[in-house]
Structure 1
Amino acid sequence: MATKDIWQSLAQDNVPFMRHIKRTFILLLTVALLLSAVAYVSDFSFETIAFSQTWLIKMMNQTHNKIINSTSPDRTQKDLLAPLPNQQIQPRGTTVAQTTDIPIYHHVAHPRNYHFTLDEPDKCSQLDPFLVFMVPVAPHQLEARNAIRSTWGNESSVQGKAVLTLFLVGLSGGAEAQQQLEEESRQHRDLLQSDFVDSYFNLTIKTMVIMDWLATRCPQATYAMKVDSDMYINPENLMSLLLSPNTPRENYITGYLMWDRPVVRDKNSKWYVAEELYPEPNYPTYLLGMGYVFSNDLSGKIVEASKEVQPFNIEDAYVGACLKQLGVAPSSPPDPSQFRAYLGQYFREDFLRVITTILGSPQQLIDIWKDVKRPT
């Protein structure tokens, strides 16, 4: 008998059986649909709350916690995190209100989630600095670090006050690059490294790790300044500001002030922040991240405030949100023109007056520094 005839015979003999299977399948499908509907209604509020946290993990925490691909729609943030060896993911601060028993781990930017792989824990006890420059910089930007080391970062004493400059990097991304960083650290003893991936979306983590280092390793410093690696700094002018009798030594932070800045909601923008992460239409007053100086008591206070402030990926605005949580208002500098974004065409007199301004390259910093420091 041909194969086709065999299958036709079997089909005719089993018609009643096949009808029974069909009815059973339809019944089971109906039950499954009803159960899915019930589950959807009961879980809706949790999914709404968890959305912003999952987005935050994917966008901000491209760190030592690697994003795990998942097809399951109900995974918690803890499921999405894979710690490095010998590390544990711990909940930080408070949890978000929810309708289930599954906790939300939303303080992924809290610095205690990370650990130093390169550190200088005794620097401040040895040098007792009055002012510490903390420079966040990418691991590969050796040229920028060397330019700072040969210019304003080489100033160890200004107007009789000890000054310290340190660089903070994240993970280097390769064994060879890491080996080079470790050699650089042995040579200069000014490198700090924490185990988060060094990326634009992790600048909030980077800044909070800086604050934590200042609070835990350098509480004796009176002032600190977070300053980007492409900046010109005039330490003399800065020190004159800090030594002024009118400059507070507690709850003080100043720089280039940003008032009533709207939150960018354009998803195509690098400055995009989702409404779920920061619902207000405008940021609180904050200091432009290029360079702001603060009394060092604020470093630990900002770290504590971060336990209550949901992190988002605009680091300077996030510090402003922490200051608002603390009830600390950023101060306008006595001469706002000393904190400049850009000076435009080079005039030596301008650089003799300012405290900060952005430059175009490490070589430009070296050239301008030489000219500013030349005898007149």
Structure 2
Amino acid sequence: MAIKNIWHSLTQDRCLFIQQFKTAFFLLLTLTFLLFSVAYATDVTFDRITFPHTWFTKIMNQTHYKVIDRIWADHNRKDTLVHLPNQQIQQRGSSIYYHIAHPSNYHYILDEPDKCQQNPFLVLMVPVAPHQLEARNAIRSTWGNESTVQGKAVMTLFLVGLTGGSDSEKAQQQLEEESRQHRDLVQSNFVDSYFNLTIKTMVIMDWLATRCPQANFSMKVDSDMYLNMDNLMTLLLAPNTPRQNYITGMVMWDRPVIRDKNSKWYVSEELYPEPKYPTYLLGMGYVFSNDLPEKIVEASKEIKAFNIEDAYVGACVKLVGISPSSPPDPSQFRAYLGQYNREDFLRVITTILGSPQQLIDIWKDVKRST
């Protein structure tokens, strides 16, 4: 009887323990759920308040990015700034911008690794937005169509990033079809935007260093530019033009760093502490000896990236120990020529145009027989 009472007592204690354990476990589970709910709600609320238009997920290379901000810039195009691992951060107004310039952070989606087996004397690298097919076709039918100039082989390639938005898959398919047709597209896995131009330029330098080291000269030239190939080749073939450690174009001296957070060209002191930029070449079009891309890429490991791409290249060139050279005739690198005059376009090397159709029209007129 005593044993039975003891057993009954133990059973009751066991049941009570199990009930208390279940209650404690349920409370712990409820508390955990509440904590996660609060954390999630806080995070979502922060994203929605501080960073509108925040979600952009499916990217062609199966890498996922979180869009931080979109702004209007560069020919009324909405830009996308992306969060990437190990980023450098810059505050601009109420938005945060991320920049990683060193090309080892990226890889090629579309590539032409054997293109330089033709041993070009000059390679023209054109950074262009993925959707700007009209600009690419205009270049293909004008200065980008010149494969031999003054007996020297010339090659033109377009560098694009990733497209954003709901139609990104369709846009990517169109780019791939364009690549199969023309074999002149290089694409890397950064989101194509105005504030990622530094990344874009450094990827260009990487491609030249790794895919085309045998070229004598290269040029980074924007997609809205008129380019007089004969005048450019005359400059490069001149006996006093160096074949190494040479970079020239429209030279920028003593340019102040913009500290106004509302400016499109704002750069924080954290990213670039000096009040003035080193001497650099205006990004619309500069030409350089092809030994420089590898040196610039190497220098970019040591220099924090900022969103003024041409000034950033200038900082890398300064670290290498090279000073940009003024062209023999500085008037040949012009920002704008104003009202059309055929004689002006016969004299310049580069100038900015208003539209792809304007490039086609001017090219036809410049090339007509007199």
**TM-score, normalization: structure 2?**
0.74
In structure 2, how many angstroms separate the alpha carbons of the residues matched to 1:332 and 1:310?
Answer: 26
Structure 2 CA distance for partners of 1:190 and 1:281, relative to 1, 3 Å = same
Is 1:140 the equivalent of 2:131?
A: yes
Structure 2 CA distance for partners of 1:225 and 1:210, relative to 1, 3 Å = same
Which of the numbers 267, 271, 281 marks the counterpart of 1:277? 271
Verify the 8 A CA contact 1:107 1:307 in the aligned structure 2: no
Is 1:128 the equivalent of 2:122?
A: no
Superposed CA offset, 1:14-60 (max 9, x none): xxxxxxxxxxxxxxxxxxxxxxxxxxxxxxxxxxxxxxxxxxxx9xx
Superposed CA offset, 1:287-325 (max 9, x none): 000000000000000000000111101000000000111
Verify the 8 A CA contact 2:99 2:199 in the aligned structure 1: no
Is 1:163 the equivalent of 2:154?
A: yes
Is 1:110 the equivalent of 2:108?
A: no
Instruction: Report the CA distance between 1:91 and its aligned residue.
Output: 9.7
Verify the 8 A CA contact 1:257 1:286 in the aligned structure 2: yes
In structure 2, how many angstroms separate the alpha carbons of the residues matched to 1:150 and 1:222?
Answer: 24
Q: Secondary structure at the match of 2:144?
A: helix
Task: Look up the equivalent residue of 2:105 and give its one-letter code.
Answer: N
Is 1:152 the equivalent of 2:143?
A: yes
In structure 1, how many angstroms separate the alpha carbons of the residues matched to 2:234 and 2:139?
Answer: 21
Q: Which residue of 1 aligns with 2:252?
A: 258
Structure 2 CA distance for partners of 1:318 and 1:291, relative to 1, 3 Å = same
Q: Which residue of 2 aligns with 1:348?
A: 342
In structure 1, how many angstroms separate the alpha carbons of the residues matched to 2:132 and 2:308?
Answer: 21
Q: Secondary structure at the match of 2:351?
A: strand
Verify the 8 A CA contact 2:296 2:317 in the aligned structure 1: yes
Q: Secondary structure at the match of 2:339?
A: coil
Which of the numbers 313, 319, 341 marks the counterpart of 2:307? 313
Which of the numbers 355, 364, 368 marks the counterpart of 1:370? 364
Structure 2 CA distance for partners of 1:128 and 1:369, relative to 1, 3 Å = same
Task: Look up the equivalent residue of 1:66 and give its one-letter code.
Answer: Y
Q: How many matched pairs? A: 285
Verify the 8 A CA contact 2:127 2:221 in the aligned structure 1: yes
Q: Secondary structure at the match of 1:192?
A: strand
In structure 2, how many angstroms separate the alpha carbons of the residues matched to 1:362 and 1:68?
Answer: 30
Which of the numbers 221, 239, 242 marks the counterpart of 1:227? 221
Task: Look up the equivalent residue of 1:239 and give its one-letter code.
Answer: M
Q: Secondary structure at the match of 2:155?
A: strand
Verify the 8 A CA contact 1:231 1:356 in the aligned structure 2: yes
Superposed CA offset, 1:142-183 (max 9, x none): 000000000000000000000000000000231000000000
Task: Look up the equivalent residue of 2:273 and give its one-letter code.
Answer: P
Task: Look up the equivalent residue of 1:147 and give its one-letter code.
Answer: A
Structure 2 CA distance for partners of 1:82 and 1:228, relative to 1, 3 Å = closer
Verify the 8 A CA contact 2:99 2:307 in the aligned structure 1: no
In structure 2, how many angstroms separate the alpha carbons of the residues matched to 1:304 and 1:65?
Answer: 27
Task: Look up the equivalent residue of 1:124 and give its one-letter code.
Answer: C
Verify the 8 A CA contact 1:224 1:295 in the aligned structure 2: yes
Q: Secondary structure at the match of 2:159?
A: strand
In structure 1, how many angstroms separate the alpha carbons of the residues matched to 2:67 and 2:158?
Answer: 31
Please list every run of at least 4 consecutive aligned residues from structure 1 whose deviation after the TM superposition is greater than 6 angstroms: none
Higher strand share: 2
Instruction: Report the CA distance between 1:358 and its aligned residue.
Output: 0.2
Structure 2 CA distance for partners of 1:178 and 1:334, relative to 1, 3 Å = same
- Counterparts of residues 329-340 of structure 1 (less than 5 Å): 329-340=323-334
Structure 2 CA distance for partners of 1:68 and 1:335, relative to 1, 3 Å = closer
- Counterparts of residues 1-376 of structure 1 (less than 5 Å): 66-67=65-66, 108-125=100-117, 127-173=118-164, 174-376=168-370
Verify the 8 A CA contact 2:125 2:156 in the aligned structure 1: yes
In structure 1, how many angstroms separate the alpha carbons of the residues matched to 2:83 and 2:101?
Answer: 15
Task: Look up the equivalent residue of 2:196 and give its one-letter code.
Answer: N
Instruction: Report the CA distance between 1:109 and its aligned residue.
Output: 1.4
In structure 2, how many angstroms separate the alpha carbons of the residues matched to 1:109 and 1:305?
Answer: 11
Instruction: Report the CA distance between 1:136 and its aligned residue.
Output: 0.1
Q: Secondary structure at the match of 2:186?
A: strand
Instruction: Report the CA distance between 1:90 and its aligned residue.
Output: 7.4
Superposed CA offset, 1:177-210 (max 9, x none): 0000000000000000000000111000000000
Task: Look up the equivalent residue of 2:248 and give its one-letter code.
Answer: T
Instruction: Report the CA distance between 1:67 and its aligned residue.
Output: 4.0
In structure 1, how many angstroms separate the alpha carbons of the residues matched to 2:254 and 2:285?
Answer: 19
In structure 1, how many angstroms separate the alpha carbons of the residues matched to 2:280 and 2:199?
Answer: 17
Verify the 8 A CA contact 2:257 2:277 in the aligned structure 1: yes
Q: Which residues of structure 2 form unaligned runs of 5+? A: 1-53, 69-81, 89-97
Verify the 8 A CA contact 1:138 1:169 in the aligned structure 2: yes
Task: Look up the equivalent residue of 1:139 and give its one-letter code.
Answer: P
In structure 2, how many angstroms separate the alpha carbons of the residues matched to 1:206 and 1:68?
Answer: 18
